[in-house]
Amino acid sequence: MKVFINGKIYLERDSFAEAMIVEGNRIIKVGTNDACLQGLTEAARESVTDLKGKTVLPGLNDSHLHFLMTAEYLSLLPITDVTSMNELIKRCRDYIKKNKLTADDVLYTEGWNHTTFTDEKRMPDRSDLDQASTEVPIVLVRVDRHVMSLNTAALDHFNITVETRPSTGGEIKKDDAGQLTGILTEGAVDLVKAKLPKKSREEKKELLVDTMALANKKGLTSMHTNDAKDETIEETLLLYKELEDEDRLSVRFYQQVWFNNGKYLSDFFNSDYTFQQGSAWNKIGPVKFFIDGTLGARTAALRKPYTDDPAAFGIVTKTQEKLTEEVTLAVENGYQVIIHGIGDRGIEMILNAYDNTLNGQPNTLRLGINHMQITGHDLIDRVAEKDYLTYVQPIFLDDDIPIIRERVGNERAETSYLFKTMHDKGIHQSFSSDAPVVSFDPFYNIQCAVTRNRLESTGNDPYLPEEAMDICAAIDAYTYESAYASFEETEKGRIREGYLADFIVLDKDIFTCDLDDIKTTNVLATFVDGKCVYKTGEANEK
What tens digit of pLDDT does each residue of 363-372 get? 999 999 999 9
**Order of strands across the sheet with 523-528?**
15-17, 8-12, 55-58, 503-506, 523-528, 531-535
**Are 222 and 113 in a shared domain?**
no
> Across-strand partners of 258?
229, 288
Which CATH number covers residue 477? 3.20.20.140
Kindly tell me the burial class for residue 105, based on how many C-beta atoms sit within 10 Å of its own C-beta (0-12, 13-18, 19 or more): middle
Cβ distance 482 to 493 under 8 Å? yes
**Are 303 and 350 in a shared domain?**
yes
**Order of strands across the sheet with 337-341?**
60-65, 220-225, 252-258, 282-290, 337-341, 368-371, 389-392, 429-431
Instruction: Look at the chain and report how many structural domains it folds into.
Output: 2
- CA separation for the pair 356, 505 (Å, rounded): 45
pTM equals 0.87
**Are 431 and 359 in a shared domain?**
yes
> Across-strand partners of 62?
223
Q: What is the pLDDT of residue 278?
A: 98
> Across-strand partners of 148?
141, 184
Q: What is the pLDDT of residues 68-92, one digit of tens each?
A: 999 998 889 999 889 999 999 999 9
Q: What is the pLDDT of residue 537?
A: 66
**Are 138 and 253 in a shared domain?**
no
**Are 340 and 300 in a shared domain?**
yes
Q: What is the pLDDT of residue 542?
A: 34
Q: Is residue 170 part of a domain?
A: yes
**Are 409 and 466 in a shared domain?**
yes
Q: What is the pLDDT of residue 173?
A: 95
**Are 180 and 206 in a shared domain?**
no
**Are 248 and 158 in a shared domain?**
no
Residues of the chain with pLDDT under 70: 458-459, 537-542
**Are 483 and 391 in a shared domain?**
yes
Q: Is residue 494 part of a domain?
A: yes
Domain boundary among 194, 220, 235: 194
The full DSSP string for 130-198 is TTT-SSS-EEEEETTSSEEEE-HHHHHHTT--TT---SSS-EEEE-TTS-EEEEEEGGGGHHHHTTSPP
The pairing of strands 55-58 and 8-12 is parallel
Instruction: Look up the domain containing 174 and give its range.
Output: 107-194
Amino acid, single-letter form, for residue 443:
F
**Are 367 and 498 in a shared domain?**
yes
Which CATH number covers residue 123? 3.10.310.70
- CA separation for the pair 118, 211 (Å, rounded): 32
Q: 208 CB contacts (<8 Å, ≥6 apart)?
A: 67, 68, 71, 239, 240, 243
**Are 149 and 232 in a shared domain?**
no
- CA separation for the pair 255, 440 (Å, rounded): 17
Backbone dihedral angles phi then psi of residue 3, each to the nearest 5 degrees: -115, 135
The pairing of strands 523-528 and 503-506 is antiparallel
Domain boundary among 172, 194, 216: 194
CA atoms within a 13 Å half-sphere pointing along the CA-CB vector of 499: 22
